[in-house]
Structure 1
Amino acid sequence: MSANSAEQTGRLEVVLVKAGRTKIRYGAELLGDDGTRVAVSAPWAGAGVRDFGFVRFEPGDVFTEYYWRDRWYAVKAVRDAEGALKGWYCDITRPAVLSGAELVVEDLDLDLWVSADGTAVLRLDEDEFADSGLSESDPRAAAAAVAALDELEALARGGGLEALLA
């Protein structure tokens, strides 16, 4: 890992960008950076409870988040306040960029949820992705996003998601 302010402080800011605007920004503890993958830990950064129907994110939840500089996704292991795994929330993103103490990630609307026991593998927000216009404005990025979603779904269904994070 190269010397930077994130390494020196052990903290960084995760900046999630969507459609050119900052969607959310939150502090996280840097767990590791091998030059390709950055791992951080952060408490649930949302306001209050967010109930998706298949999972609830709530105060006390802890996200161990994995971002790649060379892959079009981020994977977040979600644990409750007692440490029990709820599942994995996967964001389809452009490759992450770490600059100083900021980890910037561009959300491309597609998501995948995988329950802790692996029985639920849900593709999410495909309608938002279609409405985003990315297929017309940046066909290469759109193709990379769809390929990334397919890759993560295959890993999840084949039991390989945890190995990706090891």
Structure 2
Amino acid sequence: MSTRSAEPGPILTVALVKAGRTKIRYPAEQVGDDGTRITVRAPWAAPGVRDFGFVRFEPGDVFTEHYWRDRWYAVKEVRTAAGQLKGWYCDITRPAVPRGAELLVEDLDLDLWVSADGTSVLRLDEDEFEESGLADSDPLAAQAAVRALDELDHLARTDGLAGLLG
């Protein structure tokens, strides 16, 4: 992956879709693409504050987002506007699909949160995943999603996510 230079990278539109509908679209600066992993940086894109209880995403937060063309997840490093690491929010997704200046990512409901110090690893939205019906409509994708969540959970609890992103 290329390193960040003083020149801003190209702007991509990240399109996050869920169950066939666009959940959110936002511009992000591409900071790397090694042919397998695409890395972008973007400010918190949703309006206002989102308080999950274990972390708050708010205006000014910066997300460095890592998407893979061959993996069933995305890992998003979350920092405050001042640069303090909040942690990593991991989305279980189908492999990312670049389409010109757009990066298409299909959210499969499962998520993982890893706190900045690594002491808190939370599996999220497993109930939503069960209710989505993916296990019936696309059992191979459902199995890949569960394997991806298990893989990230294991990495977070053993080596941390830094090795994955390094």
Equivalent position amino acid for 1:125 in 2: D
Deviations 1:5-43 (A, max 9, x none): xxxx61100000000000000000000111100000000
Name 2:87's counterpart in structure 1: 87
Name 2:26's counterpart in structure 1: 26
The answer to whether residue 147 in structure 2 is matched with residue 152 in structure 1 is no
Q: Indicate conservation of the 8 Å contact 1:118/1:159, yes or no.
A: no
1:70-85 equivalences under 5 Å are 70-85=70-85
Equivalent residues, number: 160
Equivalent position amino acid for 2:104 in 1: V
Percent pairwise identity: 77
Q: Indicate conservation of the 8 Å contact 2:112/2:121, yes or no.
A: yes
Name 1:113's counterpart in structure 2: 113
When normalised by structure 1's length, the TM-score is 0.94
Shift of 1:83: 0.2
Equivalent position amino acid for 2:124 in 1: L
Name which of structure 1's ranges 92-101 and 9-18 shifts more when overlaid on structure 2: 9-18
When normalised by structure 2's length, the TM-score is 0.94
Shift of 1:159: 2.5
Unpaired runs of 5+ in structure 1? Answer: 2-8
Unpaired runs of 5+ in structure 2? Answer: 2-8
The answer to whether residue 68 in structure 2 is matched with residue 68 in structure 1 is yes
| RMSD of aligned alpha carbons | 1.3
Name 1:103's counterpart in structure 2: 103
Q: Indicate conservation of the 8 Å contact 2:118/2:160, yes or no.
A: no
1:119-138 equivalences under 5 Å are 119-138=119-138
